[in-house]
Amino acid sequence: MAKEKRLDDLYYDALKDIYYAERKILKALPKMARGAQSDQLKVAFEKHKDQTEGHVERLQKVFEILGKRAQGKTCDAIEGIISEGEEILEEFKGAPALDAGLIASAQAVEHYEITRYGTLKRWAQTLGMKDAAKLLDETLQEESQTDENLSKLAETAANQHAKAA
Rounded CA-CA distance 146/48 in Å is 7
Distance in angstroms (rounded) separating the CA atoms of residues 111 and 71 = 22
Output phi, psi for 55, to 5 deg. Answer: -65, -40
**Does residue 105 contact residue 88 with C-beta atoms inside 8 Å?**
yes
pLDDT reported for residue 72: 97
Rounded to 5 degrees, φ, ψ at 128 are 75, 20
Given a cut of 90, whether residue 33 has pLDDT beyond it is: yes
- Mean pLDDT (whole number) for 19-37: 96
**Helix spans in the chain (H):** 7-35, 39-66, 76-91, 98-126, 130-153, 159-164
What domain range is 44 assigned to? 7-164
Residue 17, pLDDT score: 97
State the total domains in the chain.
Answer: 1
Alpha-carbon torsion (119, 52, 142, 104), positive or negative: negative
Tell whether pTM > 0.85: yes
Q: Is residue 1 part of a domain?
A: no
What average pLDDT does this structure show over 90-99? 94
- Residue 3 pLDDT > 90: no
Residue 150 near residue 106 (C-beta atoms within 8 A) = yes
Q: Is residue 77 part of a domain?
A: yes
Question: Please, what's the largest Cα pairwise distance for the chain?
Answer: 64
Q: pLDDT per residue over 5-27, tens digit each?
A: 999 999 999 999 999 999 999 99
User: What tens digit of pLDDT does each residue of 39-61 get?
Assistant: 999 999 999 999 999 999 999 99
Which pLDDT value is given to residue 2?
Answer: 75
Kindly report the CATH number assigned to the domain that includes residue 18. Answer: 1.20.1260.10
pLDDT classification of 1: cutoffs 50, 70, 90: low
In a domain, 2, yes or no: no
Q: Domain for residue 99, yes or no?
A: yes
User: Is 62:15 a contact under the CB 8 Å cutoff?
Assistant: yes
Number of Cα atoms under 13 Å in the Cβ half of residue 88: 24
